[in-house]
Amino acid sequence: MTLTSKLRLCSGAIITLFALLLIGSPIQAQTGLDVERVQRATVLVMQTRIVGNTPIITCVGSGTIVSRDGLILTNAHNTLPGANCPGDTLIISLNIRPGEPPVARYQADVVQADPGLDLALIRITRQVDGRLIDRTALALPFVELGDSESVNLDDTITVVGYPGIGNDPIVFERGTVSGFAAEPSGGDKSWIKTSASIAATMSGGGAYNQNGLLIGIPTTAPLTPNPTTGNCISVQDSNADGLINTNDVCIPSGGFINLLRPSAFVQPLLQAARLDITISFPLQSVATTSAPVTAANRPRFRYLGFSPSVNAAGMPTTIIRSLPTGSDSLYLFFDYENMTPETVYELRVNTNGIPNPNFSVSPVRWSGGQRGLWYVGSSGQPFPNGTYEFTLFIDGIAGDSARLVVGGGPDEGPAFSDIVFGLLDSSGNVTGTGYVLPTGTTASARFLYRNMNAGTPWAAIWYYEGQEVQRTDDGTVWAESDGANGTKTISVQSVTGLLPGSYRLELYVEGRLAAVSDFTLAGGQDGSFARIFSDTHFTTASSIQEALSAAPITSFSAGTSPIFAMFDWQLIGSGTLWRIDWSVDNQVFFSQTQPWSGAPTGSNFLMQLASPSGLPDGTYRLDLFIGQIQFDTAQFRVGIGQLPIDRFSSAEGIILRGRVINSVSREGVPGVSVLLISEDYSVSDFTQDWNQNQLFATATTDRNGRFEINLPLQRDVQYSVVLLAEGYLPITADGVEITDEIHPDNSPIDITLELTPE
């Protein structure tokens, strides 16, 4: 009897076990962390370079597969070539057997990276020996990203990764969420803090909530390798002298990890990778080149102070000398200079002389600009009474420190707070956006004051690009006519015009800094607002030169590539932080903040969007910001103006897995082919000519009879199923579907199937 006739015979008789299991009987759903799947999706990432004919490991970290076609989420510092990681090839090792070290299987390329956030997406592109791979043929196990915004204090999490440099199996470290760290780069949840014990090489791995969803990426940044300090490990005879010692390549290793970069930061990178869109700047550079570090331009912090809160622009609301009992919000502010994306910074906090990891920040890459005002803070977590000492480190070297006492009642002394900037209208009111002003001869500030007594010494000092430009006269005292509490407006002026760039106002009371805030001058005046970016438009052309003179287009045919975006700008100071956001169908897929490095005024700042298969249909939008304020926006359509359905949901759906056993011996059956046929075809359609294009997904059972369909099944879609194994009667079924009634959540389905020997 032929296999086809067997299938037809069984199709009528066994319509069948799948239908009964998925439709007529209770489903065994996986709850909590899916250990087996997470293990298989966790990889070891090794950056290497060839020395002679030998690959030498230069950096090591963990990673997590986040799509079936080989996208891997990890840290940027482990993958991007740099001073600490001078490799050029990424080797991916997979967990083949639980409890054993990983096995090198693939090579990968970087497809998306954000050095400031220290996140990267890499894609498997080759076999480990360099042979190209058709990524559409991959069917790798992967995990789904969860909502990091829903993570709460004291939640239980599990951190997964490789604790060594390739000789150790995966480890699972359980812990709790011990707090959140705030930074300007991401607000109050820039980092998730954890009590889990995390080894340095687990950096880039995954942190999972109790539902088994990835909500964070454990992250630390190793310092420049130095064998004498023990912050790196030599594991290969890289110089071929027959010895492994400090003369060989030293793989950098970081210290403890207590930080997770939230999964929310991954979404734009992941969406850009799935869209397969690259954004380039052919005529301009939006990144500054780092100069060699010398004594004159060495990175440094200074001017540490504390505030109980921050405003919408990321500035301290006021500067405090102590914090009352019961407070749960505190921000450490400081100036920074000469910082680069490769600079490593760390915050160590002691409480009453004892290290306090709950408020410390382990070594991480710098995510700010070259210079400015920064903060590290915590909100929503109580600060116990005590004396706190905060010490900042740059590249492992201790810098400035500051102390603060928590306890007692509120400070009732004189205070300034809540500085905002703008232009004065005819009624003397400060108007505008608050922190970005148009260039002109005058800029004004309004601030609150309280508990001010007549005759109290105070001062206001204005700075431009770090240089003092104006101050109140020495000996200035508070006027009785201003009263003890209220608002006050002051101004800085220049008869020749205030230059575009970064400004600062410092307010002092009795010689003590009471409030500080930065603001930006840019663009021409449009009423009380700044006109900075203009004439944003789009076009397509066969070359950059053609694009510069081509007519604007707002609607492009499906599959167009490249598409060029251009805009004009005026009066932007060098170093001014600005941001580009690209979104499609209101989903951000590119966000970049950089210091301005072009001419102060110009036209046709050009960006190029390209995709190998053409830009997907959708409505694309470009938003341009200075600070947190949007100054221009424009959009265009490609094709029908809407992304294909489920373009961003390749990690969504329901995983089907299980075990195939011998109906007589009850033992697992290895080598069983499990074939899922797409909803457009039946078993009989498929078995007429065994057309592979009709298959939705496939799997083969392992030596224990276990299998897993790596492409998630969608709800209310009818699939057909075929099970084949030599020496057994096949199983077939049409009309297999998953409904909300029988399986209300997206947890994996685990089933047991029986094959009958012939």
- DSSP letters for 84-102: S----EEEEEE--STTS--
Specify the CATH number for 35-263; select among 3.30.70.260, 2.40.110.10, 2.40.10.120, 2.60.120.10: 2.40.10.120
Lowest mean pLDDT among 156-160, 494-498, 678-682, 724-728: 678-682
Omega of the bond leading into 562 within 30 degrees of 0 (cis): yes
Provide the 8-state DSSP code for 428. S
Is the pLDDT at 509 greater than 90, yes or no? yes
Q: What dotted CATH number matches 415-526?
A: 2.60.40.1930
Over residues 639-654, the pLDDT tens digits come to 988 876 543 344 467 8
Over residues 533-543, the pLDDT tens digits come to 999 999 999 99
**pLDDT value at position 249?**
67
pTM: 0.79
User: Which tokens go with 477?
Assistant: 């005292």
**pLDDT value at position 515?**
96
All residues at 6 or more sequence positions from 551 whose CB lies less than 8 Å from its CB, including other chains = 539
| Gyration radius of the chain's alpha carbons | 30
Residue with more model confidence, 228 or 744: 744
Do 3-30+653-755 and 300-312+322-406 show the same overall fold? yes
- Average pLDDT estimate for 170-187: 91
d(CA 627, CA 631): 10
Is the pLDDT at 84 greater than 80, yes or no? no
Q: Give 455's Cβ-side CA count (13 Å radius).
A: 0
**pLDDT value at position 477?**
93
Q: What dotted CATH number matches 3-30+653-755?
A: 2.60.40.1120
Over residues 220-271, the pLDDT tens digits come to 877 665 555 555 566 665 666 666 666 666 666 656 688 999 999 999 999 8
Superfamily designation of domain 532-638? Immunoglobulins (2.60.40.10)
d(CA 345, CA 405): 24
Over residues 369-403, the pLDDT tens digits come to 888 899 999 988 899 999 999 999 998 889 899 99
d(CA 222, CA 743): 45
Over residues 111-155, the pLDDT tens digits come to 999 988 999 999 999 999 899 998 877 878 888 889 999 999 999
Q: Are 578 and 625 in contact (CB under 8 A)?
A: yes
**pLDDT value at position 255?**
62
**Confidence class for position 183, pLDDT limits 50, 70, 90:** very high
Fold adopted by 300-312+322-406: Immunoglobulin-like (2.60.40)
Over residues 420-472, the pLDDT tens digits come to 999 998 888 999 889 999 999 999 999 999 999 999 999 999 999 989 999 98
**Confidence class for position 83, pLDDT limits 50, 70, 90:** confident
- Please name the residue that has the structure tokens 């482990």: 78
d(CA 515, CA 319): 5
Q: Indicate the domain borders of the chain.
A: 3-30+653-755, 35-263, 300-312+322-406, 415-526, 532-638
Residue with more model confidence, 297 or 517: 517
**pLDDT value at position 336?**
92
Largest CA distance in the chain: 107
SS3 content of the chain, % helix, strand, coil (to 5): 10, 45, 45
**Confidence class for position 507, pLDDT limits 50, 70, 90:** very high
**Confidence class for position 9, pLDDT limits 50, 70, 90:** very low
**Confidence class for position 185, pLDDT limits 50, 70, 90:** confident
**pLDDT value at position 244?**
62
